[in-house]
Structures are given as C-alpha cells and as structure tokens.
Amino acid sequence: MQIIESTIRSRLSENDDFDFWRKFLETLSEDFEIPSSKKLRNYEIFLEIGSCSHWIRPNQTRLTIAGGFAYPVGYGGNGGYGYGEPEFDWSVLFSWNKDRDDWETATKYSGKKKFVCRVALPNRTKLHPQAVANVVWENGTPKNPNEKLKLYYAFRKIENIWKLVSSDKL
C-alpha cells in the first residue's frame, strides 16, 4: 500500500486530511483480500481511488447510521435522476502486480477478465469531522466474481483520530 499512499498524498489539497485517507486505506486493505487461487490468476485487478466534491444533495439524503452521514452517492451516469456514482475531481489508477504481490500505478485498464474496485472519497476532510467512502466492485469481487458489490465506509473523527463507525452494502 506504500505506492498508493505516496501517490495519493501528492494529489491532496491543503483542505484534505491525509490521516483520513490513510485510515481509509488501512480499512480497505483489511477487507481487500486478493486470493491466490489459480482460477483467479487469469484476472487483472484494478483499484481506482479518487476525490469527489459533488455528492448528491448531502444535506437532505442521509444515512441514519451512527448519528447520520451524507448518503455516499453522486450524479454520475444517471443524467441527474436517482443515485449515480460519485464523479471524481481527480483519481489514480493502480493495478495488482501478481509477480511482486503489490500494487503499481497504471495508466489504463487492460485485460479481458478484470476486477475493478472504484473508490470515491470526499474532499475537504480537514474541514469536517465525518466522511463516507463509496466503494464499488464493478465486475464482481475476487471472492465473488459474479456479483457487483456497492459498499460504504463511514468514518468519524473522535478526539482527533479517524475511526470507522459503520460499513455495509449500499
């Protein structure tokens, strides 16, 4: 995860809290197991992580868990109706290098069989004591290749430390 942390840190603005991003990456890496089964060796695995500033109606569409959070969806891909994917202000693409068992930066998606994990995190996290991440496995997950998965991870800053307070499917 070192390459991911250093690449993302270089993209953050002065209003983005790197401690939040680091805590999210730690949490994701705990959930993000890459199986070593031979069946999945034919798949390419990608992780796209980006920052989003335009979440859908954040003050009126809410998750009610753990004291309430903005609902982690955006306007992308649906013409402004319903819940779409958050649109990135910027993003970075990583691919899993099977030979080194580590991530590396990528310039584009490749391969016929691929798993894509798309992560949108809010920007301006230094200004807010809570944040929700939107995580979408677009082509299924390595654990379950046939099911698209949408998740959220809700964090709250408690005594100056970011803590995961809830996560579930969307």
Q: Per-residue pLDDT tens for 88-140?
A: 999 999 999 888 888 999 999 999 889 999 999 999 999 999 999 999 998 88
What is the tens place of the pLDDT at every residue in 153-167?
Answer: 999 999 999 999 999
User: What's the mean pLDDT when you consider all of the chain?
Assistant: 86
Is pTM, for the whole model, over 0.85?
yes
Q: Which amino acid is at 152?
A: Y
The set of residues, in sequence order, having a beta carbon less than 8 Å from that of 13 and lying 6+ positions away, is: 123, 124
Spatial separation of the C-alpha atoms in residues 70 and 63, rounded to whole Å: 6
Q: Which amino acid is at 123?
A: N
Number of neighbouring beta carbons within 10 Å of residue 120: 25
Percent of the chain whose predicted confidence (pLDDT) is above 70: 85
